[in-house]
């Protein structure tokens, strides 16, 4: 069995980015998803380029920060997350990752919320690019997301405080 430890929100702020890089460099994290729509994404991308063996994917961010694409229709501005608007934005975020990092992301993942139109857009882009959608990887390899684990939060807290402590 292999433990996968993912650090979300890479590139949301410099502090979070530095923390994730520190965790990669100390062997704590095994993957992280980048926000390509944030202003500091070009700065954060330099660390991705320097760590070719680290697993960086993309966290499609539709809930904070600026859009990478422009709204295609008035409907897109008024309706909550229609498929064609979601697809246009995640395709733009995907291309920005490739442009900034010089490689495709290792996986595709949504951030924070997931509607039917978002899931359809992620799977469409996955099929077009050949980059796996994380939900499909979870099912294929029987990966349990701790948020879906059949244990209570207080049990998680007890698990996280056992064993070796990490001091940065």
Tens-digit pLDDT string for the chain (168 aa): 677 888 989 999 999 999 999 999 999 999 999 999 999 999 999 999 999 999 999 999 988 899 899 877 766 655 778 899 899 999 999 999 999 999 999 999 998 888 888 999 999 999 999 999 999 988 898 877 655 555 555 554 444 443 334 333
Q: What is the predicted pLDDT for the residue at 146?
A: 59
How far apart, in Å, do the first and last CA atoms of the chain sit?
A: 27
**10 neighbors 35 (Cβ within 8 angstroms):** yes
Distance CA 36, CA 100 (A): 9
* Backbone dihedral region for residue 67 (phi beyond 0: left; psi -120 to 50: alpha; all else: beta): beta
Helix axes 83-101, 41-50, angle to 10 degrees: 50
Element spanning 60, H or E: strand 55-60
* Centroid of chain to Cα 142: 19
Q: What is the predicted pLDDT for the residue at 147?
A: 54
Distance CA 158, CA 114 (A): 29
pTM of the model: 0.73
Q: What is the predicted pLDDT for the residue at 154?
A: 53
Q: What is the predicted pLDDT for the residue at 161?
A: 40
Q: What is the predicted pLDDT for the residue at 70?
A: 82
Contact partners, residue 134, CB within 8 Å, separation at least 6? 57, 107, 108, 109
Helices (H), the chain: 14-25, 41-50, 74-78, 83-101, 116-129, 134-140, 153-160
């Amino acid at each position: 069995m292999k433990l996968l430890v993912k650090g979300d929100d890479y590139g949301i702020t410099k502090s979070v980015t530095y923390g994730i890089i520190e965790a990669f460099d100390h062997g704590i994290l095994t993957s992280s998803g980048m926000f390509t729509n944030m202003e500091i994404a070009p700065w954060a991308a330099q660390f991705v380029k320097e760590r070719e063996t680290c697993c960086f994917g993309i966290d499609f961010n539709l809930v904070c920060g600026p859009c990478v694409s422009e709204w295609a229709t008035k409907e897109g501005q008024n309706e909550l997350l229609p498929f064609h608007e979601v697809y246009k934005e995640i395709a733009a975020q995907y291309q920005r990752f490739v442009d900034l990092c010089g490689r495709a992301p290792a996986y595709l993942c949504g951030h924070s919320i997931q509607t039917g139109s978002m899931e359809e857009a992620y799977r469409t882009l996955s099929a077009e690019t050949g980059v796996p959608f994380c939900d499909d990887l979870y099912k294929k390899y029987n990966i349990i997301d701790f948020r879906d684990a059949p244990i209570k939060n207080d049990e998680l807290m007890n698990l996280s405080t056992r064993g070796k402590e990490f001091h940065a």
